[in-house]
Amino acid sequence: MKTYLLVSALLFSVGLAGALTRRNAIIVLVGVELMLNAANLNFVAFWRHSADPRVLDGVMFAVFAIAVAAAEATVGLALVIAIHRHFKSANVDDASRMKG
Amino acid sequence: MDLILALLAGATVGAAVAAMALRDVVHCVLFLTVSLIGLALLYLKLGAEFVGFVQVLVYVGAVAVLVVFAVLLTRGGDAPTERIANAPWSGALVAAAVFAMLARAILGSPSLGSPSPETPVPTLSVKAIGEGLTGGYVLPLQIVALLLTAAMIGGVVIAMREKEGE
Amino acid sequence: MTSPDQIFVSAKEWLVALFPAALQPMVGALVSIAAIVAVYPAIFALTTVVERKLLARFQNRPGPNRVGIPFTKIRLAGFGQFAADGIKSLTKEDIVPRDADRVVHFAAPIVLVVPALLALSVLPVGRNMAALDLRETGLLFFFAIGASTELSVFMAGWSSRNKYSLLGAMRGIAQMLAYEIPLILSSIPVVMIAGSLSLVSIAERQSAVQWGVFHSWHVFTPWGLAGFLLFLVAACAESNRTPFDLPEAESELVAGYFTEYSGFKFALFFLGEYLGLFAVAGVATTLFLGGWNAPFTFLDWIPSWMWFFGKLGSLVLFSVWLRATLPRLRVDQLMDVAWKYLLPMSLANLVVAGLWHFTAAWPAALRWPLSLALLAAPHLLLGRGFQKRFGPRVYRYAADPRPAPANPAA
């Protein structure tokens, strides 16, 4: 149980480090995905070690989180492509002007 | 802690680190995929077969492919020559601080302190999930359906807009 | 005394019983793995020759008919060809482009072949003959494993640093993403009706007897028939077979995503493609064509595994027939078929399957026409939409530049 939680915490931190520092918008998104997945691992681990595994809350949360992450990836990548069209770059720093 | 778990955990975290640290965007995405497959195997090890396979289907089959598509469309496929990260050390420092806090919480938690009794791996019946989705979780299911539809339309609109303006 | 039906099952039990009890699960797994790794590549070897011979027949030429047993005059009608091909590809130089990403270039064929073999392991090839019976998630496992094909295609196309490879990979990914949805949606009615994701229990369920002599194959129901046809089209596209072989269209893209592969790696790609084809054919057999069941009860004496491999072989031959008959689609037509025809039709089929489930008490004379009408209506409407877009075709020929021959009578 503790192992899973520690793995999840590590994954979260790695994802956070990437999302905070990388310049390419796609990699930032990848970092966010990693953080979401770390949370999912927690949900499933807590379900496994809960008092009654017939209560499916943990698993359900993981399934919904996967669906939401898919939606997030769609919109995020569409934004990246739109930004790339506009600024001719996928780097987050280059998209800092506040005018259209 | 058994060997399989250690190997899986090591592979998952190692691939995640590689995904965040490598220069080439495509390599990052491929390592992300390795990390996600490792997570799916961890789910299998936890007895959540359904979640594990859904993870592979959605992440490897759809999200990873979407990401590589985006990489190709934004010409990220060529290895970058300039620096890839802003202030990498401060970022790593923040992440390390976050991890230290989480680890302290996990290791210091009184309810997790005693080794959890070894329960047999529960079977996750798909039937129960189906009944849950159409029973107690109908509202979240419908909201997710709405969200996915909105995301699909949003994705199309955002990616299309400037093309029409030309 | 074992019946021929269970001969392989008993053989495996006998073999496993030779080992001490502690090792038995492991030995059992190894035997199953060895069987899968031996049988499907053997079918692949046979298929390559049969396909070349058949294609040759379709095109009115003899095809491979020389290679037989070496140093003798026995030619075996050319069926030694696969060995010659194998030795050739093994001994060829393995060329990796200078600019290629070596690790990814090396990994791509492996990422294609290993999941294909894994996917084959869930197929029940006969009564009590499934290497891996995932009671809860069999079909889901199959589709999840199949998803990794796209990644392999991308890896191969991108790592080669070749524009044809990259274009082929882009086409391949777009096509597989688009056709995966109808593939999954058209198999959902079976899961709905059978109430199980396990391929083993889906196959077992179809051995129920109907009208005295028929085994109740799913294809003998309106939703099963429509689902089977939709599945077949989507499966053809998923395994990159003509008319959906745009990712490797040799007249446009050299060889698509494996342009830069040679020698053994090329052979691995070839193997992976065919294993994928066998996998979808096997799943189509299990889901719709009764799995290992005979069509009629009086044919039950033929062993179940023969039925399974016979059906799998017929589907493969059918795909060869399609390859020889149909021209390749254009990219926009390909996408149109997936999103504007297959997707709505498979959704309509879902509704029909639901109707079939809830009208179990109705007489067949009412159920059948209603279901068929519900399927025919969207088919006709969608087809009309296509026709309106294309309109009657106008053929234009270049004008003959030569002057008309003078009339000798004038």
> What residue of B is the nearest CA neighbor of C141?
B53
- Note whether C144 contacts B53, CB cutoff 8 Å: yes
pLDDT at A37 over 60: yes
Q: What is the pLDDT of residues C312-349, one digit of tens each?
A: 889 988 988 888 888 877 777 788 888 888 888 888 88
Q: Which CA distances in Å does C231 have to A79, C9, C172, C188? A: 34, 30, 18, 10
Query: pTM value?
Result: 0.82
What is the domain range of residue C208? 97-385
So what's the pLDDT on residue A100? 44
Cβ of B40 under 8 Å from any chain A Cβ? no
N-term to C-term CA, chain C: 93
Question: What ipTM was predicted for this assembly?
Answer: 0.80
Which chains pack against B, by 3+ Cβ pairs within 8 A? A, C
Distance CA C12, CA B164 (A): 64
Partner-chain residue, chosen from B49, B50, B65, that has the shortest CB–CB distance to C151: B65
**Which of C151, C144, C145, C77 lies closest to C107 in space, CA to CA?**
C151
Query: Three-state SS for A6?
Result: helix
Whether C409 is covered by a domain: the verdict is no
In this structure, what are the phi and psi dihedrals at residue B115, rounded to the nearest 5 degrees?
Answer: -60, 130
The widest CA-to-CA distance across chain B, in whole angstroms, is 65
Task: With CB atoms and an 8 Å threshold, state whether B30 touches C197.
Answer: no
Interface of B with A in 92-151 (CB under 8 A): 92, 94-96, 98-99, 102-103, 106-107, 112, 116, 119, 121-122, 124, 128-129, 132-133, 137, 140, 144, 147-148, 150-151
Instruction: Name the band, by pLDDT with cuts 50, 70 and 90, for residue C399.
Output: low
Q: Which two tokens stand for residue C279?
A: 């996998």
> How many beta carbons lie within 10 A of that of residue B119, not counting itself?
12
| Cis before C247 (ω within 30) | no
What is the Cα A59 distance to its own chain's centre? 18
Give the tens place of pLDDT for each residue, A3-18: 788 888 888 888 888 8
Chains A–B, number of C-beta pairs less than 8 Å apart: 229
Q: Which domains does chain A have, with CATH numbers?
A: 2-99 (1.10.287.3510)
Has residue C241 been placed in a domain?
yes
pLDDT, tens digit, 9 for 90 and up, residues C182-221: 888 888 888 888 888 888 888 888 877 777 777 778 878 8
* DSSP bridge partners of C129: C126
- A11-50 burial code (b ≥16 CB/10 A, e <16): bbbbbbbbbbbbbbbbbbbbbbbbbbbbebbbbbbbbbbe
Of the candidates B27, B54, B65, which has its C-beta nearest C150's C-beta? B65
Question: Per the domain annotation, does C2 fall within a domain?
Answer: no
Tens digits of residue pLDDT in C223-269: 888 889 889 888 888 887 777 776 666 666 666 777 777 778 888 88
Task: Report CA-CA distances (Å) from A14 to A53, B6, C214, C339, C397.
Answer: 30, 18, 59, 38, 64
What whole-number percentage of chain B has pLDDT above 90? Answer: 0
pLDDT at B115 over 60: no
If one counts the domains in chain C, the total is: 1
Q: Is residue C147 part of a domain?
A: yes
In a domain, C70, yes or no: no
